[in-house]
Amino acid sequence: MEEMNVVSGQTIFKDGEKPSFFFLIKDGKFKVGSETFPAGSFVALVEYFLDMEMSSDVVAESDGVIIKYTDSDVSENEEEFEKVLKYAVESLNASLAGSVDKVVVSDLEKSVDVAKLAEIAEEIGEDELLSALEEMVSLQKLPEIPGDPEKAKAVVEMVSKEEDIIKYALHRIAFVKKFPDREESKEYLMEALRTYMDELEDRYGARYVAKLVILLYPDDEIIRDVLRKLVKILRDSKDPEWFEYLERLLVAFPEEEVRIDEIS
Amino acid sequence: MRSLDLPPGSVIITPEQVPDSVYVLKRGLVGIFDKLERLMTIVYREEPFGLEALFGMKSFMHIKALLPIEVETYEPSEFKENLRPNMRLDALRVLSRRLWYVKRRYNLTSEERMRDVIREMLDEGISSGEISAMALNLSVSDALAFERVRGEFGV
Tens of pLDDT along B88-104? 999 999 999 888 877 76
CA nearest A71 in B: which residue?
Answer: B89
A17 confidence band (pLDDT: 50, 70, 90): very high
Q: Where in chain A is the domain with CATH 1.25.40.10?
A: 139-263
Alpha-carbon gap, residue A176 to A183, rounded angstroms: 10
List the single range of A114-128, A136-150, B85-99 with lowest mean pLDDT.
A114-128
C-alpha separations of A112 from A93, A211, A245 in Å = 23, 17, 16
Task: Give the mean model confidence (pLDDT) for residues B73-81.
Answer: 93
Q: Where are the domains of chain B?
A: 2-107, 110-152
Which one of B94, B108, B115 would you mutate to disrupt binding with A, by most A Cβ within 10 Å of its Cβ?
B108
Q: Is residue B112 pLDDT above 90, yes or no?
A: no
Domain A2-97 has CATH 2.60.120.10: yes
Tell me the Ramachandran region of residue A134: left when phi exceeds 0, alpha when psi lies from -120 to 50, beta otherwise: alpha
Alpha-carbon gap, residue B77 to A200, rounded angstroms: 54
Which one of B44, B102, B139 would you mutate to disrupt binding with A, by most A Cβ within 10 Å of its Cβ?
B139
Q: Which residues contact B31 (CB under 8 A, 6 or more apart)?
A: A243, A247, B39, B40, B41, B42, B43, B63, B64, B65, B66
* More reliable by pLDDT, A242 or A21: A21
Alpha-carbon gap, residue A190 to A196, rounded angstroms: 10
CATH superfamily of this structure's domain B2-107: Jelly Rolls (2.60.120.10)
Q: Is residue A233 pLDDT above 60, yes or no?
A: yes
Instruction: Order across the sheet with A42-43: list the strands.
Output: A2-6, A64-69, A22-27, A42-43
Model confidence pLDDT, tens digit, residues A148-185: 999 999 999 988 888 888 889 989 998 998 898 899 99
* More reliable by pLDDT, A203 or B98: B98
A138 confidence band (pLDDT: 50, 70, 90): very low
Q: What ipTM goes with this model?
A: 0.73
CA nearest A116 in B: which residue?
Answer: B141
Q: Do B92 and A74 touch (CB under 8 A)?
A: yes
Task: Give the mean model confidence (pLDDT) for residues B61-72.
Answer: 86
| One CATH from 3.30.930.10, 3.40.710.10, 1.10.10.350, 1.25.40.10 for A139-263 | 1.25.40.10
Task: Give the mean model confidence (pLDDT) for residues A62-79.
Answer: 94
A111 confidence band (pLDDT: 50, 70, 90): very low
- A95 at interface of B, judged by CB pairs closer than 8 A: yes
Which A residues 97-126 touch B at CB under 8 Å?
97, 99-100, 102-106, 109-111, 113-114, 116-117, 119-121, 123-124
- A241 at interface of B, judged by CB pairs closer than 8 A: yes
Q: Where in chain A is the domain with CATH 2.60.120.10?
A: 2-97
Residues of A in contact with B88 (CB under 8 A): 74-75, 81, 85
Q: Is residue A116 pLDDT above 70, yes or no?
A: no
Mean pLDDT over the full length of chain A: 80
